[in-house]
Amino acid sequence: MKLVQCWDDGVTTDVRLVSLLRRHGARATFNLNAGLHKQKRQLGWHHGDTEVWRLARGELREVYDGFSIANHTLTHPHIDQLPIDAARREIGEGRTCLQTLFDQPVSGFVYPFGTFDEVVAQAVRDAGHVYARTTRAADLGVSTIDPMAAAASCHFLAPDFWQRLDRARPSGVFGFWGHSYELVDEAMWSAFEASLARLCAEPGVQWCDPTDLFDGDSP
Ligand SMILES: [Zn+2]
């Protein structure tokens, strides 16, 4: 079974998440907004009662060492509501900055808020990305039919997470996404670690980056 996990927004709780992932030998892809990481950690927003902080620019490489990085635009706008030139800048500069920052190719993209249209999808493709993930959930496995509208199996807190894994099993691929700031208490962290251990025990488990699921030659 190929497993894919994607985590968005480059927040400070990713520090705890990556240490947990390393302990279990699980690969993951982190989707970042290069323009939002400043010299110091910055308060981003509130998730319920919890403050969500973005990582400082200078710590990104160390935090995500060994993990895959994908582009989530430069500053996380509603990209389908921008003039196309601004959208292209958000997409293109987001990718370029991440490649410079991490000194690795960046060919994955995730639409901020999951919203996009055909013009945006084409701009993402033109900028050199091989896939773009939405926030939609695929019915079976991971939807790669349209690489610019790729869908994971579900969000990591989906109530039917394990049923979806069962439904995905014949396809051989299961993918989920989320934000580490959604793990708001110790019980949730423990539950996620238990889920991760259970996933790692899947027969023939192979953690992948989404780019592994696309051939890269799509038109
Ligand atoms: Zn996001």
Residue 218 domain-assigned (yes or no)? no
CA of 7 to the centre of ligand 1 (A): 9
Taking the centre of ligand 1 as the mean of its atom positions, its distance from the CA of residue 31, in whole angstroms, is 8
The rounded distance, in Å, linking the Cα atoms of 217 and 125 is: 11
Question: DSSP letters along 98-153, please?
Answer: HHHHHTS---EEE-GGG---HHHHHHHHHTT-SEEEEEEEPSSS-B-SSGGGEEES
Stronger pLDDT, 137 or 50, i.e. the higher one: 50
Q: 203 alpha carbon to ligand 1 midpoint, in Å?
A: 32
Say which CATH number the domain at 87 has.
3.20.20.370
Show the tokens assigned to 126: 């033109």
Report yes or no on 219 lying in a domain: no
**Residue 122 pLDDT greater than 50, yes or no:** yes
pLDDT of residue 218: 42
| Interval 42-89: pLDDT, tens | 999 999 999 999 999 999 999 999 999 999 999 999 999 999 999 999
User: Does residue 128 lie within any of the structural domains?
Assistant: yes
Q: Is the per-residue pLDDT at 111 higher than 80?
A: yes
The pTM (predicted TM-score) of the whole model is 0.95
> How many angstroms does the Cα of residue 72 sit away from the middle of ligand 1?
7
User: How far, in Å, is the centroid of ligand 1 from the Cα of 52?
Assistant: 12
- The reply to whether 61 falls in a domain is yes
Q: What was the pLDDT predicted at 219?
A: 39
The predicted-structure confidence for 83-108, as pLDDT tens digits, reads as follows 999 999 999 999 999 999 999 999 99
Task: Dump pLDDT digits (tens) for 189-200.
Answer: 999 999 999 999
Is the confidence at residue 137, as pLDDT, over 90? no
pLDDT band at 215 (very low <50, low <70, confident <90, very high): low
Kindly give the distance from the C-alpha atom of residue 9 to the centroid of ligand 1, in angstroms, as a whole number. Answer: 5
**Count of domains for the chain:** 1
Domain of 88 in residue numbering reads as 2-213
pLDDT higher than 50, residue 38: yes
Contact 37, 102 (CB under 8 A): no
- Quick one: pLDDT band at residue 27, thresholds 50, 70, 90? very high
CA distance 152 to 121: 17
**What are the pLDDT digits (tens) for 149-206?**
999 999 999 999 999 999 999 999 999 999 999 999 999 999 999 999 999 999 899 9
Does a structural domain hold residue 207? yes
Q: State the distance from the centre of ligand 1 to the C-alpha of 183, rounded, in angstroms.
A: 16
Residue 116 resides in a domain:
yes
Cα-to-centroid distance, 112 and ligand 1 (Å): 5
CA of 69 to the centre of ligand 1 (A): 13
pLDDT of 141 higher than 90: no
Distance 204 CA to ligand 1 centre (A): 31
